[in-house]
Structure 1
Amino acid sequence: MEKRIINPWKWQDERSYVQAVEVKNVESTLYVSGQTAISADGISSNEDMKSQMVQALKNLETVIDEAGFECKGIVRLNIYTTSTEELWPHFPVFQEWIAKHGIRQATMLMEVKSLFETLKVELEATVVK
């Protein structure tokens, strides 16, 4: 697999994403459904934004690992939240996770009216190898 990062500017670097990712010679592509802070028993979290973000990242990593892919293969990561105001103070949690895995991904962040039950953040990914 070959990845080419397209960044016409530098300001996005501080925000832990890139403007575009071109991928060639892909062996396989994994489209991951939105991952949230739902326990292994299927119970939605009612904890704060930081706790939910940590659990959603763990769940995303679990699905990617179970599929035989690696987090560093994420090329697209969409973030949905019920409150960007609540999310921003905890954005470093996301950035540290991105850095830990060496991910260079295109990202979209969107505030939505609601998510399933008591959930506050949802992560949707496209992963390649």
Structure 2
Amino acid sequence: MEKRIINPWQWQDQLSYVQAVEVKQPVGTLYVSGQAAVHADGQSSTDDMKTQLLLAIQNLEQVISEAGYECRNIVRLTIYTTSHDEFWPNFPIFQNWITKHGIKQATTLMEVKSLTETLKVELEATVVK
């Protein structure tokens, strides 16, 4: 697989994403459903945004790993949150995770009216190898 990053500008670098990712000759593509702060027993978290974001990231990593893919090959990530105001102070958690894995992904952040039950954040990804 070959990836090419397209960034006509530099301002997005501070926000830990890229404008576009071209993938040539992938061996496989993994489309990951939205991963949220749901515990292994199926219980939705009632915790704060920070705790939910950490658990959502952990769940995303687990699905990607169990499928035989690597987080560094995430090419598309959509973030759904019920509150931009609650999410934004926790953005450094997301940025540190991106940096840790060397991810270069196209990203969309959307505030939505609600997510299932008590959830505040959900991460949906496309991963290639």
Distance, in Å, in 2 between the alignment partners of 1:60 and 1:51 is 14
Q: CA deviation at 1:120?
A: 0.1
Distance in 2 between the 1:71 and 1:86 partners?
A: 25
SS at match of 1:54: helix
How far residue 97 of structure 1 moved from its aligned partner, in angstroms, is 0.3
Describe the superposition over 1:86-108 as per-residue Cα deviations: whole angstroms up to 9, x where unpaired. 00100000000000000000000
Q: Secondary structure at the match of 2:8?
A: coil
How large is the Cα RMSD of the aligned pairs? 0.2
Tell me which residue corresponds to 1:29: 29
User: Which stretches of structure 1, 4 residues or longer, exceed 6 Å deviation after superposition?
Assistant: none
**One-letter identity of the residue aligned with 1:97:** W
Q: TM-score, normalised by structure 2?
A: 1.00
Deviation sequence 1:9-46 (CA, Å, 0-9, x none)? 00000000000000001000000000000000000000
Are 2:103 and 1:103 equivalent residues in the alignment?
yes
The unaligned stretches of length 5 or more in structure 2 are none
1:1-129 equivalent positions in 2, closer than 5 A:
1-129=1-129
* Normalised TM-score (structure 1): 1.00
